[in-house]
Amino acid sequence: MTKTQITRFFATLQAANPLPVTELEYTSVFELLCAVVLSAQATDVSVNKATKKLFPVANTPAAVLELGQENLEQYIKTIGLYRSKAKHLIETCHLLLTRYDGKVPRTREALESLSGVGRKTANVVLNVAFGQPTMAVDTHIFRVANRTGLAVGKTPLAVEEQLLKRIPPRYRVEAHHWLILHGRYICKARKPLCAQCPVSDCCDAA
């Protein structure tokens, strides 16, 4: 994509969805962190079904620790890798209480020190909770970026770096959401809906 096409691409997505939000359901930064950790290799729908039952019972680090790993597993057992995710959440809650006064930290380094939190998870929290212009490259964004020619790279980090260089500053905070939603509902993996795509005129593949 050329610079002109990139600007048109995001202007079009912005016009269609001016205030994009994550499809994970949460009411606090801690709930968001838990939901993102649980969403690894799982759908937002499955995570939301589990957290609708979990969060009314335990939605603070102290409450999750009091619940304990075995009980936590019962709430999230419908999600893939639930045992390891429960272990990570318990360890993260302990770290939040002992290192960060029970609050979710606002820096990448601190977030990535938490159990089960890698670069992508940290990017989501920094973007959604704290409004930072980060790019959490999941399978959808990786596919859309490479397929359209928006940012070509062989690894998520390479795509992330290209996206942050190429996306105009005014679109960077929301770009993460637009690309995920576009990949989830229009630019699908097996059968992209090119005939319905509002930005097909900017796309290399189209």
The residues carrying an active-site annotation are: 120, 138
Q: How many whole angstroms separate alpha carbon 146 and alpha carbon 198?
A: 18
> Phi first, then psi: what are they for 10, rounded to 5°?
-75, -30
Contacts of residue 205, defined as CB under 8 A and 6 or more positions apart, other chains included, come to: 147, 148, 149, 192, 194
48 backbone φψ class: left, alpha, beta (φ>0; ψ -120 to 50): alpha
Q: How many whole angstroms separate alpha carbon 120 and alpha carbon 149?
A: 21
DSSP structural state of residue 145: H
Residue 196: other Cβ atoms inside 10 A: 9
